[in-house]
């Protein structure tokens, strides 16, 4: 990770860090495990949409300030939990004020809360000068949520286990992605609970689909899928409508991200995506054009 620019304001050191959103190019659910989680094969991708965290070292408690009233600013906030766990691991009594400027829709399948938690770990490890090795940081990240470890590396990565074990793969470059959110949130836990028809169990030891998909992504058209779509789309037909709308507006592929409700559309050029963006906004949806952010760019630019 590049050396972040630590600013000294008066006596307080502070860091600004970008906290990117992700999409899932694929999400294969293999089976329910004994620990209650589902065994996954997914391909994560960071995109250019990001929250911004301004973190200042203090002598006091851990404080969260957020400009979005839907985000809890108490100890249930994942960034708060991340800071508390890191403080415990480091054995420090230092505090932090974490200001979150929110742009990523909340509970939207875009990993916003998980990304905020990973960004907090990366920033506070620098700010508090915590000597922690990478495996220990990954363990803390995994204890916060299944997709938090992914946000320590970003880019295009294969996620296995419950999604917490991540491996970088061939980086995908896609310029014209449209994120569309119909304006309601979906609970990840509910989506998994509703998942009645699981992917074929033989896929557990033989994961050709995800790897085929990984190879196929850079040579669009895509051959990807999201196993959570069926149950979530049944409960929320509006998401299926967003998918068809994007396809009718010229997207070569449209798919739900994570447990939804955000759908991403892959477009071929800026004219088509601009038209699609204004049409879905006119229909009352939140829409945002983004591009992929690969692991190299992620590492080089998250500290602002």
Q: How many residues does the chain have?
A: 304
Q: Which residues pair with 156 in a beta bridge?
A: 45
Residue 242 found at the interface with ligand C5P (CB under 6 A): no
Distance CA 304, CA 289 (A): 21
- Active site residue: 81, 102, 126, 147, which one? 147
Q: Minimum distance from CB of 53 to ligand C5P (Å)? A: 19
Chosen residue from 52, 58, 188, 301 binding ligand C5P by CB under 6 A: 188
Q: Does residue 81 belong to the site contacting ligand C5P (CB under 6 A)?
A: no
> At 62, is the secondary structure helix, strand, or coil?
strand
Closest to ligand C5P by CB, 145 or 155:
145
Q: Does 112 bind ligand C5P (CB under 6 A)?
A: no
Active site residue 102: no
Buried b vs exposed e over 273-292: b needs ≥16 C-beta within 10 Å?
A: beebbeebeeeebebbbbeb
Residue with smaller CB distance to ligand C5P, 25 or 303: 25
Least Å distance, CB 192 to ligand C5P, is: 4
Q: Which of 105, 112, 145, 182 binds ligand C5P (CB under 6 A)?
A: 145
DSSP classification of residue 174: -
User: Residue 37 interacts with ligand C5P (CB under 6 A)?
Assistant: yes
3-state helix vs strand vs coil in the chain, percent to 5: 35, 30, 35
Rule CB under 6 A: say whether 189 interacts with ligand C5P. yes
The one-character DSSP state at 3 is P
Long-range contacts of 7-14 (CB under 8 A, 24+ apart): 9/56, 12/56, 12/57, 12/58, 13/56, 13/57, 13/127, 14/54, 14/55, 14/56, 14/57, 14/127
- Kindly state whether residue 163 participates in binding ligand C5P, applying the rule CB under 6 A: yes
Selected binder of ligand C5P within 38, 50, 225, 243 (CB under 6 A): 38
Q: In angstroms, how far is CA 278 from the centroid of its own chain?
A: 24
Rounded to a whole number of angstroms, the minimum distance from the CB of residue 85 to ligand C5P is 14
**Count of residues near ligand C5P by CB under 6 A:** 10
What is the residue whose two structure tokens read 């932090």? 96
- Return d(Cα 36, Cα 265) in angstroms, integer: 32
Contact residue for ligand C5P among 56, 101, 160, 192 (CB under 6 A) = 192
| 146 counts as binding ligand C5P under rule CB under 6 A | yes
User: 162, 236, 252, 299: which one contacts ligand C5P (CB under 6 A)?
Assistant: 162
**Nearest distance, CB of residue 29 and ligand C5P, angstroms:** 8
Q: Which stretch binds ligand C5P (CB under 6 A): 37-45, 169-177, 261-269, 271-279?
A: 37-45
Closest CB to ligand C5P among residues 112, 145: 145
Q: Which residues contact 125 (CB under 8 A, 6 or more apart)?
A: 86, 132, 137
Instruction: Mark whether 147 is an active-site residue.
Output: yes
Which residues make up the interface to ligand C5P (CB under 6 A)?
Answer: 37-38, 40, 145-146, 162-163, 188-189, 192
């Amino acid at each position: 990770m590049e050396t972040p620019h630590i600013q000294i304001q008066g006596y307080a050191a502070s860091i600004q860090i970008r906290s990117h959103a992700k999409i899932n190019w694929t999400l294969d659910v293999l089976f329910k495990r004994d620990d209650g989680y589902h065994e996954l094969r997914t391909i994560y991708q960071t995109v250019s949409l990001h929250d911004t965290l301004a973190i200042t070292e203090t002598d006091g408690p851990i404080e969260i300030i957020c400009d979005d009233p839907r985000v809890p600013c108490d100890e249930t906030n994942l960034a708060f939990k991340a800071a508390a766990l890191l403080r415990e691991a480091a054995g420090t009594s230092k505090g932090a004020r974490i200001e979150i400027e929110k742009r990523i829709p909340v509970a939207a399948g875009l990993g916003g809360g998980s990304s905020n938690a990973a960004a907090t770990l990366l920033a506070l490890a620098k700010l508090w000068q915590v000597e922690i090795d990478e495996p220990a940081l990954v363990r803390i990240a995994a204890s916060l949520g299944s997709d938090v470890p992914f946000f320590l590396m970003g880019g295009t990565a294969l996620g296995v286990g419950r999604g917490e074990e991540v491996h970088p793969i061939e980086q995908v470059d896609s310029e014209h992605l449209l994120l569309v959110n119909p304006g309601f949130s979906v609970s990840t836990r509910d989506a998994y609970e509703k998942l009645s028809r699981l992917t074929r169990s033989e896929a557990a030891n033989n994961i050709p689909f995800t790897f085929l998909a990984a190879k196929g992504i850079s040579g669009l058209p895509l051959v990807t899928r999201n196993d959570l779509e069926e149950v979530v789309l049944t409960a929320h037909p509006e998401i299926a409508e967003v998918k068809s709308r994007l396809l009718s507006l010229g997207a070569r592929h449209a798919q739900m991200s994570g447990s939804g409700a955000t759908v991403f559309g892959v477009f071929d050029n800026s004219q088509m995506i601009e038209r699609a963006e204004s049409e879905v906004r006119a229909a009352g949806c939140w829409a945002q054009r983004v591009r992929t952010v690969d692991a190299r760019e992620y590492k080089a630019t998250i500290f602002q």
